[in-house]
Amino acid sequence: MENRPLEYDYTVAKMFMLTTVVLGIVGMLVGVILAWEMAFPAVNTIAGEGLAEYTNFSRLRPLHTDAVIFGFTVSGIFATWYYVGQRVLKVSMAESKFLMFLGKLHFALYLLVVVAVVGSLLLGITTSKEYAEFEWPIDIAIVVVWVIWGLQIFGLIGIRREKSLYISIWYYIATFLGIAMLYLFNNMEIPTYFASGGIGAWYHSVSMYAGTNDALVEWWYGHNAVAFGFTVPIVAMIYYFLPKESGQAVYSYKLSLLAFWGLMFVYLWAGGHHLLFSTVPDWMQTMGSVFSIVLILPSWGSAINMLLTMKGEWQQVASSPLIKFMILASTFYMFSTLEGPIQAIKSVNALAHFTDWIVGHVHDGTLGWVAFMIMASLFHMAPRVFKREIYSKSLMNTQFWIQTLGVVLYFTSMWIAGITQGMMWRAHDEFGNLAYSFIDTVTVLHPYYTIRAVGGTLYLVGMFLFAYNMYKTMTSGRRVEESELQNASPMGA
Amino acid sequence: MFHWLEKNPFFFAVAVFVVIAFAGLIEILPNFAQASQPVVGTKPYSTLELAGRHVYIKNSCNACHSQLIRPFKSETDRYGHYSLSGEYAYDRPFLWGSKRTGPDLMRVGNYRTTDWHENHMKDPVAVVPGSIMPAYGWMFKNTADIDTAYAEQLTVMNVFAVPYNAEIPMADGSKATVALADTVEGARASALEEAKVIAADMKDQDVKDKIAAGEIPEIVAIIAYLNSLK
């Protein structure tokens, strides 16, 4: 009995795997609609004039960003936590009724918040702050969901058998703390209904901060929501799943230490690069710019650590689509964390800010790094969670190449679009007058917007392949025994 | 030390928190009092203008339009004087935006008229050939939420001492006052008066009928707001 392996309980992990897939498709579908609207404005009224209010670009845009951040990515973070947490702490959720209850409550409340967010954004109930659009009742619900997750994390840590916390756990703890701090401070707002003695809409609020201060807090949040939503937890995933899937030990413990504490310290300073040449004090802008460059070190530290973990085992990249996803993710992480600091250099930013180049940068990070890593994690989890072989390896390969092509089309077209637009905005003729009117800089982008929409559509097609493959794995993949589940995930043809 | 931290989750979490909170303390707090001072000539929004600002936010206009003019010749040539921090003293939330799919609107009130906005919101391509901005027909039908705007005015006046009903120094040395009604009925009445002035410059018969019936369509409120951006 003593040597019997632990039976991990993946009930909650499965629930969040489902929302990862569903909300991923929803969020990216909205994104694709937006992309086509920019290329062909007639798409704005695709559901008829009567529904134009709910299908037009501006109303859908926050829904896209929030669905992929708080729907797809955050679901992926929770799903992997409920899998990785148990395994590296060597404790099963089934061992504590309380933690199991918290996990299920966590999922139920999360679903409620998702419904509230989708409904309110479609109705135009928003605070306008990017990635913090929700009004105060939803903010409170989000804080509750987050606190429950925190209790779950520290509860599981409290009853752990493995005393030393594995690297992934560091990153999950940092995700929890970072988002908690940022979200609370950025969403400080006063409900006007209560402050005015019951006048107007009950859900409306006004920001505690005004103007430049509001911008500072918002981009301290916005930039670091990327840090603690799109970087830290995804690094947690790759530190667990890449060594597991490849059967290789993490290349260097010291490098992981340096990268972790470096990232924690440096990332928060860099938020100022969103506000270069704005009305925030100059020294803050310079700090934001300088620390963005420094940020390359800890970012590349993690990425290089992961690539070197594959030392001597590079043939796996060719043979396993799952390893392909992870290696490409980590490569895109390096690429994106080099591109970001370049855009944060003041003279480059003067050109790039407000253009599509920024949009391209966000998407090579999110599509190439975040989404690839989350999907790879779910692929690795599927055989262990469902006790079935991954349905189709060739479908995985197809998905990989379709989506890679999609990302490449996306960021290359946005580079050209952004730099073209930035150059045209600043161009002067021989007499010192502006060379182009604004509309000239819009119409010139049409081909690039079309290419981007094609790229996005390809990525979405890949998402459907992913969903189909996961569904078939769950329902009709070949059953596998525990003993078959060593390193490389079993895959059907 | 790191090995010890990795075995003591509580202290590990404390250490992480200290390291990540550090930058915020140094960078953000010191600027707070200073940056919230208005420059001469900056007035708080009237009830109708604020209701229009809410329409702007409701439709995420800030997803495509910035309100931040950077100190470059190409930007001041195109949009006017570069932005000053104090000009945003009454902007809650700030609406700088992060993407210019359309042009900056920081000083759009200086060079666009009510008539221009009316035609443009109805059919952007008719006014600016090649425009990719969608039409905002529903703004002509939906009614603006004056009550919520008034509730927000009361809130910012009471909590943040925004100077309603007080003399505000203007650039030419004169004084201006932005009146705030004592009751919500008073606020509705003064917003309607302001709306009538805007609607007089508009052509849409439905809008005129609505105003005559005492209702303010969203389009009138948002035009009042856009005209106030100077």
CA distance B198 to B208: 10
| Partner-chain contact B20 A267, CB within 8 Å | yes
Count Cβ neighbours within 10 Å for each residue of A191-205 and write b for 16 or more, e otherwise: bbbebbeebbbebbb
pLDDT in tens, B146-181: 999 999 999 999 999 999 999 999 989 999 999 999
Return the pLDDT at A6. Answer: 80
| Chain B residues inside the 8 Å CB shell of A261 | 19
- Please tell me whether residue A150 adopts helix, strand or coil conformation: helix
Q: What is the DSSP letter of B44?
A: P
- The two tokens of residue A167 are 């690297």
- The two tokens of residue A485 are 């589940």
Domains and CATH numbers, chain B: 2-32 (no CATH), 36-228 (1.10.760.10)
| Chain A residues inside the 8 Å CB shell of B28 | 216-217, 220
Do A268 and A316 meet the contact criterion of CB atoms below 8 Å apart?
no
Angle at which helices A167-186 and A253-267 pack, to 10 degrees? 0
Of B35, B57, B134, the CB nearest to A126: B57
Interface A:B, Cβ pairs < 8 A: 254
| Partner-chain contact B27 A209, CB within 8 Å | no
Does the N-terminal peptide bond of residue B93 adopt cis geometry, omega within 30 degrees of 0? yes
| Chain B residues inside the 8 Å CB shell of A200 | 145, 147-152
| Partner-chain contact B99 A268, CB within 8 Å | no
| Chain B residues inside the 8 Å CB shell of A428 | 73-74
Q: How many residues does chain B have?
A: 230
Of B9, B90, B98, the CB nearest to A210: B90
Residue A203, min C-alpha distance to chain B (Å): 10
pLDDT in tens, A373-411: 999 999 999 999 999 999 999 999 999 999 999 999 999
| Chain B residues inside the 8 Å CB shell of A264 | 16, 19-20
Return the pLDDT at A485. Answer: 83
Give yes or no for A68 touching B (CB within 8 A): no
- Please tell me whether residue A173 adopts helix, strand or coil conformation: helix
Return the pLDDT at A1. Answer: 44
- How many CB atoms within 10 Å of residue A87? 17
- Position B29 pLDDT exceeds 90: no
pLDDT in tens, B106-132: 999 999 999 999 999 999 999 999 999
Give 10-residue mean pLDDT values along chain A (493 residues): 74 97 97 97 91 94 96 97 96 94 97 96 95 95 97 95 94 95 92 94 95 91 89 96 95 94 91 92 91 95 95 94 96 96 96 96 96 97 94 97 98 97 96 95 97 98 98 92 84 87
Residue A1, min C-alpha distance to chain B (Å): 28
The separation between CA B170 and the C-alpha centre of its own chain, rounded to angstroms, equals 20
| Partner-chain contact A213 B62, CB within 8 Å | no
With a threshold of 0.90, tell me whether the complex ipTM lies above it: yes
pLDDT in tens, A92-102: 999 999 999 99
- The two tokens of residue A164 are 């030393």
Chain A residue closest in CA terms to B36: A210
Q: Is the dihedral of CA B61, B110, B225, B121 positive or negative?
A: negative
Residue A443, min C-alpha distance to chain B (Å): 6
Structure pTM?
A: 0.95
Return the pLDDT at B128. Answer: 97
| Partner-chain contact A354 B66, CB within 8 Å | yes
DSSP letters, B131-167, are --PPP-GGGGTSBP-HHHHHHHHHHHHHHH---TTSE
Return the pLDDT at A218. Answer: 93
- The two tokens of residue A306 are 């992961």
Of A56, A177, A220, the CB nearest to B28: A220
Return the pLDDT at A226. Answer: 84
Q: How confident is the model at residue B34 (pLDDT cuts 50, 70, 90)?
A: low
Give yes or no for A47 touching B (CB within 8 A): no
| Chain A residues inside the 8 Å CB shell of B94 | 210-212, 214-215, 218
Return the pLDDT at B1. Answer: 79
